[in-house]
Structure 1
Amino acid sequence: MTLLYIYILWVAACVDSISADSHITVSARVGSTVVLPCNLRNVFTKTPRVRWHNDVGFVFERSSGGTQIDPGYEGRVDIPENELRKGNCSLVLKNVRITDDGAYRSFVVEYVDRTNTDKMQDISRVKLSVDAFQISAQVGSTVLLPCEWSDLPIQTPHVEWYIDSETVFERKGKESFQGEGYEGRVDVPEDELLKGICSLVLKNVSATDAAVYRSSMVVTHTKKSVLVQKVELSVYENPEKREEEPSGEAGINWPHLLIFILSLFMCFLFSR
């Protein structure tokens, strides 16, 4: 009975935490350190078991038995044990990468009885938004939106560039697709893609091309798309050179006028 009462109190605290911390959005720059907030709102005498997942899969776990870390986050994530004892399950994420962009969620596993039956409770949901790479281009020019995928387990490169839900360009091997309005203007060369470079070549830039572009690669063993790059493109007009037209007194060239008057005066003197 006592164990059941403790468990009910624990669930109440977790539910309270969910309502307070849900739908949090955190922004970070590539290479920075960010804290994804999570609060259990009660103090534990024993270290609970905490797992962090993102929308792709497992990220980090800490329990009294130690820690487990996904290889892609090795050396970059942690939940300090002393903080976890206080009910602070926030995840510290170092050296932020563009691939970290996405939704994260944390779980706590609490042993309910002596049979070691565990219950998983969703504690916190955090959206991590990684700032886009900034690039500007002039109207009519050609611009390169950078992208590399060489650190991903991929056999046949399959890249997609898109704006929100609109596909700009897609290539899988020799097959390619150009989105509406981008025909003849976009490409990811096949030979470059095979080298691990998925940069998008955008020709004849127009003012309407200004947007946030994302590129994803399809991972071979999971068949899931992984965000590789996010680029914000700003477009500026070609500056026009305009000659100043004289208007009223603002258009008078006073030095030239004085020289002209002086010349007339000298001619008048010598003519006498």
Structure 2
Amino acid sequence: MAGLTTAPYVAFFISIWIVSPTVADQKEVTAKAGQDVTVDCRTPRDAEILLLKWSRSDLKSEGYVFFVRENRHYESAQHPSYHGRVELRDPQMKAGDVSVVVKNANVNDTGTYEFRVSTRSRETATEFSHFIKLTVTESDTKNITAKPGQDVRLHCQGPRGAVIGLIGWNRPDLESDKYVFFLRENHTNENYQLPSYRGRVDLSDPETKDGNASVVLKNVSVNDTGTYECGVIIRRGDEPKLYSTIKLNMTDSGHTDGPTVGGGILGLPVIVVIFIALFFLFYTKKISEKAVAAENEKEKLFQDLFSSSTPTDYVATTRDRGTYTNTRRHKQTNYN
């Protein structure tokens, strides 16, 4: 008698199994933001799947996370934030595989999900449910390296399909209440922006399609080195959620935007300094060579003048205090 009473319950529990290290009514899955998350779920191999519903009770608006009836996916019954992001691992659900894949998971996907499946096997309809707790944590800090003068794209992906209400990029290392970039209801406001970033930060996609909250930081300098955080608000009244953390590093490109010392540029390019030094040495050397050449030429002319065979037949010449002595038959001429 006891065996007949417990048989339906045994059939219920063997009708679904989910890959998990422990046997429990609720499975926990953890993922990083930006990853694709696969939730394994199976029904008996020979069962016909009539209905598959995946829902979240904490969603503030109506709609399923995923909805399939008679092998047809109904996106019209789906919550907007999951449009285009949830699909069956096997579209044909062969061998009872009703596993689903959540693409590009974000922190807003954190919550408790209920799987509800209706099957039919040998003219017997069965309905069962299972709960999944999904936790999506922030992705690890991304490192970006740039050179002064370049434009840098800071990536931030919010929920796809959602209408973004606010985007705030900030630098926590500056300990300021102002932002690197601030947008609310599709309007930027420089009053909330750090002065050094005004006019230098634009949205990568002005329409923020598919939750794209990325920005482009133009003409970066060494002063832009630091940590950048991207916070996004979807619904009015919600707290901003962190979707991206980026560490921006700068490399030495041969110049800096540093201060001036003594009226000169402290960061004058090394190559310019070397060029000036080489030019000075080259110029000095040329001047010296010209001076030596001129002196040699003068000496040569002087020697040619007094050593050549002329009618006066100069034998030797000396110049002392304005007196030139010409030795020719011991005759002396004084020009003073």
User: What TM-score results when the alignment is normalised by the length of structure 1?
Assistant: 0.51
The DSSP-based 3-state class of the residue aligned with 1:3 is: helix
* Larger radius of gyration between Structure 1 and Structure 2: 2
Ranges in structure 2 where 5+ consecutive residues have no aligned partner:
1-5, 200-205, 257-266, 301-336
Alignment of 1:1-272 (within 5 A): 1-10=6-15, 13-16=18-21, 22-25=29-32, 27=34, 35-40=36-41, 44-46=45-47, 47=49, 49-51=52-54, 58-64=64-70, 66-69=72-75, 70=78, 71-79=80-88, 80-83=90-93, 85-87=95-97, 89-91=99-101, 93=103, 101-102=106-107, 103-104=109-110, 107-110=114-117, 118-122=128-132, 129=139, 160-162=168-170, 168-169=178-179, 207=223, 210-217=226-233, 219-220=235-236, 223-225=237-239, 230=244, 232=246, 234=248, 236=250, 239=256, 240=267, 241-242=269-270, 243-244=273-274, 257=285, 260-261=288-289, 264-265=292-293, 267-272=295-300
Instruction: Tell me the distance in 2 between the aligned counterparts of 1:63 and 1:207.
Output: 57
Ranges in structure 1 where 5+ consecutive residues have no aligned partner:
29-34, 189-194
Judge conservation of contact 1:36–1:126 (CA < 8 Å) in 2.
Answer: no
Residues 66 and 244 from structure 1, CA distance in 2 versus in 1: closer, same or farther, beyond 3 angstroms?
same
The DSSP-based 3-state class of the residue aligned with 2:116 is: strand
Number of aligned residue pairs: 242
Residues 145 and 22 from structure 1, CA distance in 2 versus in 1: closer, same or farther, beyond 3 angstroms?
closer
Please give the per-residue CA displacement for 1:39-95, whole angstroms capped at 9, x wherever unaligned.
2367643436252659867532335474343334444542143247553613264xx
Judge conservation of contact 1:162–1:168 (CA < 8 Å) in 2.
Answer: yes
Residues 92 and 15 from structure 1, CA distance in 2 versus in 1: closer, same or farther, beyond 3 angstroms?
closer
The DSSP-based 3-state class of the residue aligned with 2:65 is: strand
More strand by share: 1
Instruction: Tell me the distance in 1 between the aligned counterparts of 2:57 and 2:37.
Output: 11
Judge conservation of contact 1:78–1:91 (CA < 8 Å) in 2.
Answer: yes
Residues 232 and 3 from structure 1, CA distance in 2 versus in 1: closer, same or farther, beyond 3 angstroms?
same
Judge conservation of contact 2:28–2:132 (CA < 8 Å) in 1.
Answer: no
Q: Tell me which amino acid in the other structure corresponds to 1:120.
A: H
Q: Tell me which amino acid in the other structure corresponds to 1:268.
A: N
Residues 262 and 118 from structure 1, CA distance in 2 versus in 1: closer, same or farther, beyond 3 angstroms?
same
Residues 207 and 41 from structure 1, CA distance in 2 versus in 1: closer, same or farther, beyond 3 angstroms?
farther
User: What TM-score results when the alignment is normalised by the length of structure 2?
Assistant: 0.44
Q: Which structure is richer in relative contact order (CA contacts within 8 A, separation 6 or more)?
A: 1
Instruction: Tell me the distance in 2 between the aligned counterparts of 1:54 and 1:136.
Output: 45
The percent of aligned pairs where both chains have the same amino acid is 8
